[in-house]
Structure formats: C-alpha cells, structure tokens
Structure 1
Amino acid sequence: MEKRTGIVGIVIEDFSSVERVNTILHEYRELVVARMGVPYKERGISVIALIVDGSNDEISALTGKLGRINGISVKSMITKK
C-alpha cells in the first residue's frame, strides 16, 4: 500500500468524549507523526491537529472512527502521492 502524508483536524465540543478520542488516537499511534492540542477555553472547545503518515485506508479508518463520536468534528487533507 502506498503511504501518504496528511493533516487531520479534530474539534472537541463535548468533553465527555475526550477519553474515547485519546483511546482511538492511541490505537492509531503508528500513523501519528506529530500532535498539537489546544484548549480554547473562551469557546469551550479543544482543537487537536495531527500530522499523519499511512495508507489512505489507514487514515480513513482513523478519521472514520473519530467521526462517529458524538461531540467531535473531524476533517482531513491528504497528499495525492
């Protein structure tokens, strides 16, 4: 499988979902090159930015699992090659 590099943005609006998000990120830790988390207290949200490197299927599986969590928004951008 061809590996790709990309960015995954996660916005957490429901803090009861944080443990589930971290569990999934730990499960896919081999894809994560870098992670930055920013609590935005004034808005009552947290934002996580990931740099990922893996196959399209692996990255899609990660974002798909995260996207099914209530109170979480996920977007990704992946290189074409």
Structure 2
Amino acid sequence: MAKRIALVGIIVEDSAAAERINSILHDYGENIIGRMGLPYRQRGVHVISVVMDAENDVISSMAGKIGKIPGVSVKTVYQKETPSA
C-alpha cells in the first residue's frame, strides 16, 4: 500500500487527555514527520497539528484512537493520491 502525507489536526478541550494523546503519538512516532502544539489560553483549549507520512490505515488508526478520547476532536487532511503511471 502506498504511503501518503497527512495533516492531523487535534483540538484538546480537556487537558486531562494530554497523557493519553502523548502515549498514542509516541506509539506512532516512526510515522510522524513533525508536530506542533499551541495552547490557546483565552479559549481554554490546546491545538496540536501532526504531520505524518504513512499508509492510509496507519493514519486512520492513529486519528481514530485519539478521536475516541473524551474532550478531544480530530480531523485529518490527506495528500491527493497520485495517479498510477
């Protein structure tokens, strides 16, 4: 299966979820190119962006696990698939 680049956007409304999120991100570390976390104190949330280079099922699996954590929202944007030559 072909690898794709994806951007996973995570909004954390419950800071108690941080440990679980970090554990999942650690588990997928070999597929993560980079990540950035920003606290948005005025709104009481944290915004995390994660860039991955992995197969679709790996990206979906990570996003799905994080999305099941209470107080956390996740959306994923994928690189367009390149047509076969």
User: Normalized against structure 1, the TM-score is what?
Assistant: 0.97
Per-residue Cα deviation, 1:17-65 (whole angstroms, up to 9, x for no partner) = 1100000000011111010100001110000011111000000000010
* Sequence identity percentage: 48
Map 1:8-47 onto structure 2 (within 5 A): 8-47=8-47
Distance in 2 between residues matched to 1:34 and 1:27, nearest whole Å:
14
Unaligned runs of 5+ in 2: none
Structure 1 outlier segments of 4+, above 4 Å = none
Aligned pairs, number: 81
Unaligned runs of 5+ in 1: none
Look up the equivalent residue of 2:34 and give its one-letter code. A
User: Normalized against structure 2, the TM-score is what?
Assistant: 0.92
Superposed CA RMSD in Å reads: 0.6
